[in-house]
Amino acid sequence: MNSPAARWYHWNADDLIVRVRVQPRAGRDELADVVGDHLKVRIAAPPVDGEANDQLLRFMAKQFGLPKKQVLLLQGQKGKTKALCLRCPQKVPPGLDVTRPG
């Protein structure tokens, strides 16, 4: 699902920082693919009153085995391109290679 040349994520100690491009109003919530320097994520919620952002945080928390409060929106409150911090992820979704350095 991702290219070794793509730098859509990096580790900051135990935290995983990911760049995502959100497609709101999708048919369902799903991880799509790595495109360039971001992970494309489809979210069913509309981009109204923060609904899509809230659903994105819940979805990513579930995918990485975290409580929602451990997924932080760092950048992109109003845009489609966002930066998220996943605090000490417990699992990695199948198909994603987010190898830690070292």
Range of the domain at 67: 9-86
pLDDT at 51 over 70: yes
Q: Is the Cβ–Cβ distance between 40 and 32 less than 8 Å?
A: yes
d(CA 28, CA 34): 18
pLDDT of 58 reads: 98
Cα dihedral: 7, 78, 29, 39 (round 10):
-10
In this prediction the pTM is 0.91
Whether residue 53 is contained in a domain is answered as yes
Domain count, the chain: 1
d(CA 66, CA 86): 8
pLDDT in tens, 76-91: 999 999 999 999 999 9
Read off the CATH number of the domain in which 47 is found.
3.30.1200.10
Whether residue 50 is contained in a domain is answered as yes
Whether residue 21 is contained in a domain is answered as yes
Calculate mean pLDDT across residues 39-43.
98
d(CA 39, CA 48): 22
